[in-house]
Structure 1
Amino acid sequence: MNTGLVIRDVTLRDGLQLTGKPLPTERKVALVRELLRIGVPSLEIGSLARPDLVPALADTLDVVAALTPDELERCWIWVATPRHVTRAVEAGARNVQYCLSVSDAHNRANIGRDTEASLAAMPEAVEGALAAGGRIQLCLATSFTCPFDGPVDPGRVLEIANDPRTRGAEDIVLCDTLGQAIPTDVSALLHRVRQETPERRLVFHGHDTWGQGVANTLAAVEAGADMVDGALGGLGGCPFAPGASGNTATEDLLFALRPDWLDPTTLVELVGVAEELLADIDEPNRSKAAQGVRSRANAFPWTSSHVSNCG
């Protein structure tokens, strides 16, 4: 594994978008602190999407206000307009993820304007984030397929990535919004973005709709990704993308990638945190690694029974 690779958990943003049962603000804050304590290096903790359209995230700024500056250094907020950036940084956020869709059809469904309008507004968003001493990512939804128009031309991704209006973003996030990509698609696009666009940290955000989430993420890492996203228990999906389902499970990514801070005890603890969360919001656990942790393979060091016996 790339020793500098960052695994970001996006449970509190992308993970909660489609849940039917809300999570109280204080529970979100507690979860942020629990994940940071366990060792998860980076979190996405909310969105400034319209609260009437994504009510589960309506309290994002309250979550931001409850966290310390040190905690917020490791947290990201989803934004789509310069006004979102202003509100986020005024609340104390340090890191914002400015999102637009490669396909116009999804950008209109998701953000209410075409892609060109989002690009035209990005310099103001960048200026607002940097003036506050923060960081900003360029997040490209539907980098592979669009729920309305089908396959997305990689040339369009490169065109947006090279647009001078995106300067100032230190990262570029390539999203398999629908989970329809396969590893060769991911590898090919990330290699091209790495080689043919300005130097930035490269982030892959994958979904597991077609069962390719872990494989696609491993392909992204092989292609040079610096950060990859997952959500506890495979929660998530885009409410404005028919056919999208949950994110790749954080537990599965951790088991596959084995970052330096992870050991069997830590993974067992993280699985327990995820199980408690999923029970609170009445959602199923889609993580295969979580199933493995709870198996009776006592001789395998990554199972909970083995950890308990050794403890």
Structure 2
Amino acid sequence: MTVVLRDVTLRDGLQLTGKPLPVARKVEIVRSLLTLGVPALEIGSMARPDLVPAMDGTLDVIRELTPAELGKCWIWVATPRHVSRAAEAGARNFQYCLSASDTHNQANLGRSTEDSLAALPEALELAADVSGEVQLCIATAFTCPFEGEVPPGRVLDIVLDPRTDGSSDVVLCDTLGQAIPEQVHHLVGRTAAVDDRPIVYHGHDTWGLGVANSLAAIDAGATTVDGSLGGLGGCPFAPGAAGNTATEDLVFALRPDWLTPAKFGELVRLAGGLLAELGEPNRSRAGQGAQASTTSFPWAS
């Protein structure tokens, strides 16, 4: 089975950073990642810039990219209006997000999970009008910062809700990074058993299990895993959520066909430059190892 690594640096990765990136720099990062061979990217969010300042300029980023580039890029949306505005700018891949936990959905989106589900069919119609795709993204699929552990049955109820019919994939998010491999394997496996849509696993490395959980998800049937450069990321509406699983760590573990030691070195340097710009620490263990290892190891920088 071929596993896709999707880099989410320009969306989830930037959400908690204190320094905004100019549109031109975001476009440069998109093109650098695509040139290296990264097959899928999440490049921004339609969240209100006054609530998530780092997402300002998302529509301008979309407008700067070619249709071919946008074919590999995803935009975070939460309402039909988001889909409409992003589609008008040229986007064709939309990640429609809601939370398994109603409390987190209220904190994150200002509405109930039921309200988000009720609006999904319209979002699907708007995407279909431009021959687009919509992923069903379920945040807090494992734990919620306000309610604690989320029962797997709650997630499966959302997956099986007929209003989600027509979405292209199911994204299961360990928003807080508190899940362990056994839990990830169980939920991904149960989801795969009841639904035939491809599964994306979106993990955070808060408790140091980002790569282990991603590998468990793949073993249970996930076909895509998310990561961000240097382990950037976190949710501003989920206290305790730290960075995503590092892209460098995931590709070093997975060794996708497009990756070579030379490209890995370029990826590490790209991450290092971005982290320096943002004043953020490097949380990637593989990235750190590449810079500290002896040159006799082919994956050393």
Shorter-chain TM-score range = over 0.9
Counterpart of 1:128, as a letter, is: L
1:140–1:279 Cα change, 3 Å: same
Residue matched to 1:227: 224
Q: Map of 1:252-267 to 2, 5 A cutoff?
A: 252-267=249-264
Residue matched to 1:309: none
Per-residue Cα deviation, 1:147-170 (whole angstroms, up to 9, x for no partner):
000000100100000000001101
Counterpart of 1:106, as a letter, is: H
Residue matched to 1:278: 275
Aligned residues: 301
Shift of 1:296: 3.4
Q: Map of 1:56-67 to 2, 5 A cutoff?
A: 56-67=54-65
Q: Distance in 1 between matches of 2:179 and 2:293?
A: 34
Query: Which ranges of 4 or more aligned residues in structure 1 deviate by more than 3 Å?
Result: none
Secondary structure at 2:294's aligned position in 1? coil
Secondary structure at 2:33's aligned position in 1? helix
Counterpart of 2:145, as a letter, is: P
Per-residue Cα deviation, 1:97-129 (whole angstroms, up to 9, x for no partner):
000000000000000001000000000001111
Q: Map of 1:94-243 to 2, 5 A cutoff?
A: 94-197=92-195, 199-243=196-240
Counterpart of 1:215, as a letter, is: A
Counterpart of 2:33, as a letter, is: L
Q: What are the ranges of 5 or more consecutive residues in structure 1 without an aligned counterpart? A: 305-311
Per-residue Cα deviation, 1:211-261 (whole angstroms, up to 9, x for no partner):
000000000010111110000000000000000000000000000000001
- Matched residues, percent identical? 67
Shift of 1:50: 1.0
Q: Distance in 2 between matches of 1:295 and 1:243?
A: 30
Q: Distance in 1 between matches of 2:71 and 2:60?
A: 16
Residue matched to 1:246: 243
Q: Distance in 1 between matches of 2:220 and 2:152?
A: 16
Q: Distance in 2 between matches of 1:298 and 1:20?
A: 35
Q: TM-score, normalised by structure 2?
A: 0.99
Q: Distance in 1 between matches of 2:190 and 2:110?
A: 29
Q: Distance in 2 between matches of 1:219 and 1:181?
A: 11
Secondary structure at 2:292's aligned position in 1? coil
Q: Distance in 2 between matches of 1:255 and 1:92?
A: 33
Secondary structure at 1:299's aligned position in 2? coil
* Coordinate RMSD, CA, aligned: 0.6
Residue matched to 1:6: 4
Residue matched to 2:299: 302
Q: What are the ranges of 5 or more consecutive residues in structure 2 without an aligned counterpart? A: none
Shift of 1:195: 0.3
Secondary structure at 1:97's aligned position in 2? strand
Shift of 1:38: 0.6
Secondary structure at 1:276's aligned position in 2? helix
Per-residue Cα deviation, 1:69-97 (whole angstroms, up to 9, x for no partner):
00000000000000000001010001000
Residue matched to 2:77: 79
Residue matched to 2:50: 52
Q: Distance in 2 between matches of 1:296 and 1:110?
A: 41
Q: Distance in 2 between matches of 1:169 and 1:5?
A: 20
Residue matched to 2:30: 32
